[in-house]
Amino acid sequence: MFRQRLSVSLGLMVAFAALFSGFVIWRIGFPLQIDVNEAWNAWHVDRLRSGASLYPDAQALIINNYPPLSFYIIALVSPLFENAVIAGRVISVLSVFTIALMLYLSARSLEVSRSAASLGAFWYIATMTRFFSEYAGMNDPNLLALAVMCSGFVVFLGAASRERLYLAFSLMLVAGLIKHNVMALPLSALFILWHKDRRRTVEITLFCCIVIGLITALLFALYGPAFFQQLMMAREISLLRPLQRIGRLQFVLPVLIFWMIWLRSAPDGPTKRVTLILVMASLTVNELALTGAGVANNAQFELVFASGLCLAVILEGLQGRITQFRSVRLDLGLALIVVMVARFILWPAFDPYLLAISPTYRADVADKVAMMQSEIERIRAIAGPVNCSVRSVCYLAGKTFVFDDFAMNQRIKTGQATEEAIRGEAERQGIQFIPIREEARWHSP
- pTM beyond cutoff 0.75: yes
Domain ranges of the chain: 2-355, 359-440
In this predicted model, what pLDDT tens digit does every residue of 183-198 receive, in sequence order?
A: 999 999 999 999 999 9
**145 and 178 in contact (C-beta within 8 Å)?**
yes
Q: What is the pLDDT of residue 320?
A: 60
Contacts of 66 (CB under 8 A, 6+ apart): 41, 44, 141, 179, 180
Q: What is the pLDDT of residue 362?
A: 93
Of the pLDDT bands very low, low, confident and very high (cuts 50, 70, 90), residue 337 is: confident
Average pLDDT estimate for 397-417: 94
Angle at 389 between CA 419 and CA 64, to 5 degrees: 65
Q: Which of 49-53, 302-306, 380-384 has the lowest mean pLDDT?
A: 49-53
Of the pLDDT bands very low, low, confident and very high (cuts 50, 70, 90), residue 322 is: low
**402 and 385 in contact (C-beta within 8 Å)?**
yes
Q: What is the pLDDT of residue 324?
A: 56
Percent share of the chain, pLDDT over 70: 96
- Residue 113's φ and ψ, nearest 5 degrees, are -65, 160
Q: What is the pLDDT of residue 323?
A: 64
- Residue 432's φ and ψ, nearest 5 degrees, are -105, 130
In this predicted model, what pLDDT tens digit does every residue of 246-287 receive, in sequence order?
A: 888 999 999 999 999 899 888 889 999 999 999 999 999 999
In this predicted model, what pLDDT tens digit does every residue of 287-307 receive, in sequence order?
A: 999 999 888 888 999 999 999
β-sheet bridge partners, residue 330: 323
Distance CA(98)–CA(87), nearest Å, equals 16
Contacts of 267 (CB under 8 A, 6+ apart): none
- Which DSSP state fits 235? -
pLDDT beyond 80 at 328 = no
Burial class (CB in 10 A: 0-12, 13-18, 19+), 278: buried
Axis-axis angle for helices 270-289, 253-265 (nearest 10): 140
Residue 342 CB neighbour total at 10 angstroms = 11
Average pLDDT estimate for 103-125: 96
